[in-house]
Chains A and B, each alone.
Chain A
């Protein structure tokens, strides 16, 4: 079965392109345009990995990470943050909030794909333990 990824991004153009890229690489992709939609889809589908922006309407990435950590069902799902913010204190903050990785925009797909493989590998190992 293909690995299932939930993409949360409020910019429609980027969301569509990343969805197409991931599908081209044989991932099953769910999309949400803000953190609230993302939380709802995450609870419904329990994806293998979440890739999320930080600055989004309704529920932002910080609140999303807090909500994932507080929910026993969601807390095991790795969340990779992809954001335009590249200041060290921002990266530190989201890592403290439980993010499993951080990519700064713009990024090349090769780097995103390496992170996805690393995190999916980790979650597979974790589920076997």
Chain B
């Protein structure tokens, strides 16, 4: 009886997981259509010399909301895959520095307030054994948070090639994280008590931690409310692993 129940509940979970995956994918086509309509309106207004600051601002706003919604769908899909053990790491020898052009480009002008990502590199570049796609996701998420939860200065990414490890810090001068929230920070769906009015699913840092664990790295956080946050991500070089 028990095994029948267990098998039935496994099937139910597996079906639920498939429904989430299919639904999340199905969300993307209407998002793509709406965004293409925004692009079409933008192109047509420009071609007819009718574009002005009002149209520009509101069309940009629609587009940025579409991509925010798309990020939420991606996070749901990723966490669904993580929970079902469907994450493939595809690790290879790679230099974290090779991800910088893509990250720099992604955050060249975000979010239309003139700020950009500042990158510092120290030490001699060395390779780690990790998944480039997952590392890109890790840093993209941390940098996105640094922009989202700060307002004044450019977020800073520091890549430091040390003797046995490569250490990446992402620093912002934003709203910070209350001390009481820190123990739950990496739990799925947890959102800081001071994030009201700032969009998010609470899945991003949970995904970050899963990917860091999958790549045998570590993550720590230091934060002070109203002063800012520093996330420190560390990976060991393969020849120094015990």
Contacts and interface: CB of A to CB of B under 8 A. Distances in A.
Interface of A: 11, 13-14, 17-18, 20-21, 24-25, 84-86, 88-89, 105-109
Contacts, number: 57
A11 B70 CA distance: 18
A47 B19 CA distance: 38
A17 B66 contact: no
B40 interface: yes
Contacts of B34: 106
B90 A106 contact: no
A106 B29 CA distance: 7
Nearest to B89: A88
B31 A106 contact: yes
21 contacts: A11-B29, A13-B30, A14-B29, A17-B40, A21-B39, A24-B40, A24-B43, A24-B44, A84-B25, A85-B25, A86-B74, A105-B28, A106-B32, A106-B34, A106-B35, A106-B67, A107-B35, A108-B35, A108-B63, A109-B39, A109-B43
Nearest to B42: A109
Interface in B9-43: 25, 28-37, 39-40, 42-43
B86 to A, nearest CB: 9
A89 B90 contact: yes
Contacts of A17: 33, 36-37, 40
Contacts of A105: 28-29, 31-32
B32 A14 contact: yes
A18 B133 contact: no
A80 to B, nearest CB: 14
Contact of B36 (A18, A25, A84, A89): A18
Contacts of A109: 36, 39-40, 42-43
Contact of A106 (B25, B43, B47, B66): B66
Contact of A13 (B25, B33, B43): B33
A106 B66 CA distance: 8
B22 to A, nearest CB: 10
Nearest to A20: B40
B88 interface: yes
Interface centre among A84, A107, A109 (most CB of B within 10 A): A84
Contact of B90 (A14, A84, A86, A88): A88
Contact of A88 (B31, B47, B133): B133
Nearest to A21: B40
Contact of A108 (B25, B39, B90): B39
Given A20-B40, A21-B43, A109-B39, A14 B88 contact: no
Nearest to B37: A17
Contacts of B70: 106
B33 to A, nearest CB: 4
B28 A24 contact: no
B67 to A, nearest CB: 7
Given A84-B29, A106-B32, 11 more contacts: A13-B30, A13-B33, A14-B33, A17-B33, A24-B43, A84-B25, A89-B90, A106-B35, A106-B70, A108-B35, A109-B42
